[in-house]
Structure 1
Amino acid sequence: MRQLLQRTLLRHRDLAAIQLLVCDVDGVLTDGGLHYDAQGQVLKRFDVRDGLAIRMLQRAGLEVAFLSGGRSGAIEQRAAHLDIRHCLVGVGDKLSALRQLQADLQCARQQTAFIGDDLNDLTVRPATGLLISPADGAPGLRCQADWVLRRRGGDGAVRELAEALLQRRGLWRQLNREGWREGNA
C-alpha cells in the first residue's frame, strides 16, 4: 500500500525538474559492508550498473555528487572513475554541506534529490525536493522518504532511480533501443 501511495505522489512531482542528485555512499552505492585487507585498508564493492546509471544521468545533464560521512579512499577513487566533480567525504554536517553545494551550483531545493540509507541522512530533508531510500534503508528513513526504491543499496538502487529520472525526461526508451556507446563505468 505504501509503495502504491508513493508511486501516486511521485507522478505528481516533476522528476524532470531534478538537476542535482546527491548520493550517500555506504549503504547506497555499496551494500554498507566494510571489508579490511591485511594492511587495514577498507575495501568496498560498488555496483557497476549504478556506475553506468550515473554516467547516463551526467550525459543527460544532471549533476551527480557524493556526500558521505565516511572516508576510505575507495569513495574518492570511485568518484574519480565516474568523473564526479563534487565528492564530499568525511562530512559531519550533511545538511550544511548540501546547502553549500546547492549554493555553489545555484541549485534550488526543488531541483535536488538525495538518496541515503540511514538516520544521518534524514538531516538533509529541509534542503531536498525528493528524499529517497533504498529498499533496505533504516526504517526511520524509509518512513519519511518520498520514495522507497525496490532495489537494495549496492545492488542497483541508483540504477532504479536513474531509470525513472531518464524515463521522465523521455530518454530511457532511446537508450533501451540504441544502447549505450560511451563505455563502462
Structure 2
Amino acid sequence: MRALRWLRLRGRLRRITLLVLDVDGVLTDGGLWFDADGRLTKRFDVRDGLGIRLLQQAGLEIAFLSGGQGGASESRARQLGVRHCLVGIRDKPTALGKLQQALNVTTAETAFVGDDLNDLAVRAQVGLLLAPADACRPVRWQADAVLNRPGGQGAIRELAERILQAREGWGTLASNGWRDRND
C-alpha cells in the first residue's frame, strides 16, 4: 500500500523546489541530550546530511523550521549549507508563508516533513505533507505519505532518494557514488 502511494506522488515530488524540515523528531530522534554542564545537544544522522546535500546539488532549496531553540540546529544548518534555519518559531504558518514569498515558491512547489501536532498547522500551505515513521498518529493520518524510516534515523535520506528517483537523478548517483564529503 505504501509503495503504491509513493508511486502516485511521483509527479508531485518532481515539482518540489522547497523542502522544509522540522528539526526535533525529523532530523533528530526527538530526544534532548544534556552534557555534564547542562548544555543541550542533539544527535543528527549523517545519512540525512548526505540526503540534504544531494537535494541541494539537484537544485532544491532546503529550510529548517522548528519551534525548538537554535544552537545545535543552527550549527547543523551551517555545516550543510542550509541558508534558511528558522528556530524558536511559534507560528509556523506565518514563518513558512514569509519564506515562500521571499523565495517566490508556490504551495505546490513546497514539501514539509513534520512529526507532531504543531506541524499540522502548515498543511494548507504545502503541496506535500510528509511524516517520518514514528510521527504521532494524527500527523501520520493527515500526511500525504509516511516514510519508512523514523526521525533522526535516515528518514530524510529516504525522502531524498525518493525525490531523486522521481526526477530520475538517482540512478547515476547509485551507480557512480558521491565524491564529496559526507556530512
User: What TM-score, normalized by structure 2, do the two folds share?
Assistant: 0.97
The within-5 A match list for 1:1-185 is 1=1, 3=2, 6-11=5-10, 13-185=11-183
Gaps of at least 5 residues in structure 1 are none
Contact preservation (8 Å) 2:12, 2:128: no
Residue 40 of structure 1: CA displacement? 1.6
Residue 184 of structure 1: CA displacement? 1.3
How far apart in 1 are the matches of 2:169 and 2:138? 33
Residue 38 of structure 1: CA displacement? 2.1
Contact preservation (8 Å) 1:42, 1:72: no
1:104-147 Cα shifts (integer Å, max 9, x gaps): 00000000000000010000001000000000000010000001
Residue 9 of structure 1: CA displacement? 3.5
Amino acid at match of 1:38: A
How far apart in 2 are the matches of 1:151 and 1:181? 25
Contact preservation (8 Å) 2:12, 2:127: no
How far apart in 2 are the matches of 1:8 and 1:72? 36
How far apart in 2 are the matches of 1:8 and 1:43? 37
Identity score, percent: 59
1:19-68 Cα shifts (integer Å, max 9, x gaps): 00000000000000001112221111100000000000000000000000
Amino acid at match of 1:47: D
Q: Could you say what the CA RMSD is over the residues aligned between the two structures, in angstroms?
A: 1.1
User: What TM-score, normalized by structure 1, do the two folds share?
Assistant: 0.96
> SS of 2:100's equivalent?
helix
How far apart in 2 are the matches of 1:41 and 1:80? 19
